[in-house]
Amino acid sequence: MRRDAMRILVIDARVVTPDRDGGSLRMLRLLTILKGLGCHVAFAPDFPRSFPPFSDSLDRDEARLRDAGIDLPLGPAAPTVEAHLEADGRRYDVVLMTGVHVASKYLGRVRRHAPGAVVVFDTIDLHFLREYRAARLTGQVRRLQFALKVKRVELAVARAADVTLVVSERERELLGREDPAIRVSVIPNIHDVAASVPPFASRAGLLYLGAFTFDPNADAVTWFVRDILPSVRARLPGIRFTIAGADPTDEVKALAGDEVTVTGYVPDLAPLFAAHRVFVAPLRYGAGIKGKLLSSMAEGLPAVVSPIAVEGIAATPGQDVLVAGHGTDWAGHIARVHEDEAVWTRLSDNGQALVRRHYSTEVVEHLVVGLLQDIAVGSMRPAPGACAEGRA
């Protein structure tokens, strides 16, 4: 099988919204890479009409995929993923499913209707790890029980798939400790650096970016405004904090005040990155790697982050970012970057260099080519009878 003749079906939860969340941005860029390599790429969402709040932009989001050359096969003749698999599943060489909830739902059906396809499970991030950390933070027994259930299903899907994708070497190692037999490849987030970076003197204030349909983002900004920002203001009186991102919750909206701005959805983020002097990422739980931090680095905006926020990213603390742990002075780190142009410039330059080395389109395309070559030469074969029907 030639790589450029591959027919690839991607099954996702909904039509991607790359202007609203980092997972969608990664997926669109991955689809674009696959298409650019000569593959025929089809995209089938579990919810064809999406769901609020994403359904409001569905026509625009579908048009974006079509403009990228991605086929959208669901329609009157095949209104659901399963109907499409029944009709055309045998045509596909590869079926890639994203996230444990989608993959656990469809893996068995893919094996039935596309028996010759290599099955790829794209974790996006390890959901069980994120849920376990949320349970530990909140102390909720039910959330811990849910995390354990997700872990059971996620590992079952990874074992049943022909290859599992993670976004970092750290998550590859974690899966390897859970089960060395799971075949894992790393396909990280994809970012290209800004061609120019506005100077230190033209900037001021702090920025956070997140999709607030994702719980860790709401927790992060609420904690930061309540527990960290007062000490920052003691060092930097009058400093402004901008919270940007789609679909802020009522709790997040309530944080707005004289020196805190909650923007909601912003169609073009470049001016925000260009106007602020420090990006903050005070995440207290999560998994995978954080597209918000890589976006900041790509735009040349230095960051002060929690250990969770930088986890899995090939960054050196103090050189590429400043990391504020539980015993570290967030305010001191922020004041240092905000007020010292030499520190700011070093972090800005190093952050962009890191993105070029590890997360650029060129670098990730090389990883994708390697994955497709393994598939093309038959080193990844469907496991006969393998099936994972459980739901998280």
pLDDT digits (tens, 9 = 90+) for 22-69: 999 999 999 999 999 999 999 999 998 888 888 888 999 999 999 999
What kind and span of H or E run contains 267? none
What pLDDT does residue 384 have? 42
pLDDT of residue 387: 35
Domains and CATH numbers, the chain: 3-190+360-376 (3.40.50.2000), 200-358 (3.40.50.2000)
Q: Is pLDDT of 362 > 50?
A: yes
d(CA 25, CA 381): 29
Whether residue 86 is predicted with pLDDT greater than 90 in this model: the reply is yes
pLDDT of residue 256: 96
DSSP assignment string, 305-327: E-HHHHTTS---BTTTBEE--TT
pTM of the model: 0.92
Please state the φ and ψ torsions of residue 233, each to the nearest 5 degrees. Answer: -65, -30
User: Average pLDDT of 136-150?
Assistant: 95
Helix axes 127-138, 141-160, angle to 10 degrees: 170
Tens digit of pLDDT for each residue in 261-307?
999 999 999 999 999 999 999 999 999 999 999 999 999 999 999 99
Say yes or no to pLDDT of 385 above 60: no
